[in-house]
Amino acid sequence: MKRIFDPIHRFIELDANEIALLDTAPVQRLRRLRQLGLAYLAFPAAEHSRFGHALGALAMGERIFQTLRTQSASYFASEADFAAQRRLLRASLLLHDVGHGPFSHACEAVLGLPHEKRTEEILALPEIGAALARLEVDPADVLALVVGDPRGCYPVLREIVSGPNLDADRMDYLLRDSYFTGAVGGSFDSEQLVASLRIYETNGTLELGVDIRGVVALESFVLARYLMFSTVYFHHTTRQFERILQAALRDLWPDPRALDQIGEFLTWDDFRVLESFRFATSPAARAVRDRDTLYALVAEFNSESDLATFDACASALRARYGEAVWSDSQEQLMHRLPLSLGSSTPTVRVGTYAGMTSATEVSDLIARMAGSAHWRKLYVERSRADVKAARELCRLIGAQKGKAASVYTKSEV
């Protein structure tokens, strides 16, 4: 048994076979992939890695699984069944991010292959196969959990690994990202939420849900996700550098198909990309290397009712500055339906004294946040547009439409 210290979960224990999996080259590569990509350019302490997150997801998954063993013991056929599912769950959480490329989503946008496809190829590597064999875990079962395949044999484990709402992955990264960025909005009552988790059966389908006493903790979890998207994941500086990085990566990899082979793909990590920018001459590579903000934020719109104002501002800016204008529109579901189920299905099952219901029925906050949240931003290129005039133009349009409070400008860090 080995104990690894973590700032979020304190000591995380792994057995010898799990350590052997941890020591494989594809998993060790996660040390060289930042969890938040380029967010360190906005939040200087956000240097934490996907390796630390993989361990944290395992720790959170273990807490969830032990709760289910106590509160929903009938789910497990025997002690051997519990042990086998536990090995599979822990291995899957260690491997759930193994298919990510340098700077994650920016890399996927350039290379075209999703990280789920890379994960499938990595799980087929002899080194990973041998490590999983020592754990008595089938790589096909791991893949089904990681990619959220509804045809898999373990629906509850799938929800813990990659479920729509109550997964260990999300629980850890909210706490971890909040800790390292300093954005306190990512904190939530993880102790109460985990203690409230239950396995419920509805029409022959097993689902992960919460006891009624955990609804307030669930509310804090949903709200934390919204606040982290607002303050960290869609931060205006992070968003512009992701765009700049994509341009730099296209220069670095003029033939993206050259990285299709998994062996070549695994030789790339954040460190190698940044090192390749050290003597690069392209404006995009220099901007990432030297943190040169090529774009200026003109206005932000964080409400769906602002769509008309956003469109009007974007049209006016393009009429004046043409291709020097960039509009960034992001949308996220704060609370999702269970995987592969229809729109009539509750978002999260809640067990009450009167029977089963949906979280949206027992929480006004969750009901209001069950749809999509929107973040829209307008930027102009500093070298080709008058930033002050662009901001004033949007301010005037917002005032005319009665949306002055939603259209505002700020100085960028």
**What are the tokens at 386?**
């008058």
Question: 2-237 maps to which CATH number?
Answer: 1.10.3210.10
Give the Cα separation of 260 and 282 in Å (integer): 24
> DSSP letter at 373?
E
Q: What is the pLDDT of residue 339?
A: 40
Q: What is the pLDDT of residue 203?
A: 80
Strands of 264-345, DSSP E: 295-301, 325-333
Give the Cα separation of 218 and 77 in Å (integer): 29
On whether the CB atoms of residues 82 and 249 are closer than 8 A, the answer is: no
- Among 107, 94, 113, smallest CA distance to 24 is for 94
- Among 341, 359, 372, smallest CA distance to 148 is for 341
Q: For every one of its 413 residues, what pLDDT tens digit does the chain have, with 9 covering 90 and above?
A: 999 999 999 999 999 999 999 999 999 999 999 999 999 999 999 999 999 999 999 999 999 999 999 999 999 999 999 999 999 999 999 999 999 999 988 899 999 889 999 999 999 999 999 999 999 999 999 999 999 888 878 999 999 999 888 999 999 999 999 999 999 989 999 999 999 999 998 888 888 999 999 999 999 999 999 999 999 999 999 999 999 999 999 999 999 999 999 999 999 999 999 999 999 999 999 999 999 999 999 999 988 888 899 999 999 999 999 999 999 998 887 665 444 344 445 578 999 988 889 898 999 998 888 777 889 999 999 999 999 999 999 999 988 877 654 555 554 44
**What are the tokens at 375?**
């973040």
Domain range annotation of the chain: 2-237
Burial class (CB in 10 A: 0-12, 13-18, 19+), 305: exposed
Which residues are 326's β-sheet partners?
A: 379
Give the Cα separation of 32 and 135 in Å (integer): 25
Q: In what order do the strands lie in the sheet with 325-333?
A: 295-301, 372-381, 325-333
